[in-house]
């Protein structure tokens, strides 16, 4: 691990009780959701992780604790280093603070995460749908979201599908 990255990881571990995972040369810090603002500010101001490259989420349903992880990919332009943060969230109404004040481009990433997963970002300036229509109900990337599809009819399942069709429809 690079010296600059090691310094940042060690400091965050010590100050915020983060756990570290290194897999295939990629470093991930598992952090407490309520400390995300302080951690992001420290990484930006003290260790020059000055770019939020991506923000997304993962749903581990039916597991409830944590059900979600919000994943932040940070980059240091001066040091050419990447660092991933993962914050676990419990339950069906997850929320955590917005990172807009630290990384302004978090605005759109957080809107996408809210739209697709239903994770609220407290203090967000404009938390509304960005991908789905405004009248859409639910959050499509949650694992408990209903699929609502019709199985396609092929030669191998023709009879089975045909029996389920309403009369007069072929």
pLDDT in tens, the chain (170 residues): 799 999 999 999 999 999 999 999 999 999 999 999 999 999 999 999 999 999 999 999 999 999 999 999 999 999 999 999 999 999 888 999 999 999 999 999 999 999 999 999 999 999 999 999 999 999 999 998 887 666 677 888 888 878 877 765 55
pTM: 0.85
- Top-tier CATH class for 3-164: alpha beta
Rounded to whole angstroms, the Cα distance separating 124 from 55 reads: 14
The neighbour count for residue 1, using CB atoms within 10 Å, is: 14
- Are the beta carbons of 43 and 8 closer than 8 angstroms? yes
Quick one: tokens of 141?
């990337």
Rounded to whole angstroms, the Cα distance separating 161 from 75 reads: 51
Residue holding tokens 């990433």? 109
Residue 113 host element (H or E) = helix 106-117
- Are the beta carbons of 91 and 76 closer than 8 angstroms? no
3-state secondary structure of 36: helix
Interhelix angle 36-47/3-16, nearest 10 degrees: 150
């Amino acid at each position: 691990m690079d010296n600059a990255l090691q310094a940042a990881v060690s400091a965050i571990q010590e100050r915020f009780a983060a756990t570290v995972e290194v897999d295939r040369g990629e470093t991930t810090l598992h952090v407490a959701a309520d400390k995300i603002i302080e951690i992001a500010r420290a990484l930006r101001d003290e260790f020059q992780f000055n770019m939020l490259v991506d923000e997304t989420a993962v749903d581990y349903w039916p597991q409830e604790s944590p059900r979600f992880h919000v994943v932040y990919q940070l980059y240091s332009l001066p040091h050419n280093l990447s660092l991933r943060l993962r914050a676990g969230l419990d339950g069906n109404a997850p929320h955590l603070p917005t990172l807009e004040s630290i990384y302004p481009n978090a605005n759109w990433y957080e809107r996408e995460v809210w739209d697709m997963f239903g994770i609220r970002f407290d203090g967000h300036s404009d938390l509304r749908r960005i991908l789905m229509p405004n009248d859409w109900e639910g959050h499509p990337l949650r694992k408990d979201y209903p699929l609502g599809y019709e199985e396609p009819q092929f030669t191998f399942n023709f009879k089975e599908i045909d029996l389920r069709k309403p009369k007069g429809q072929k």
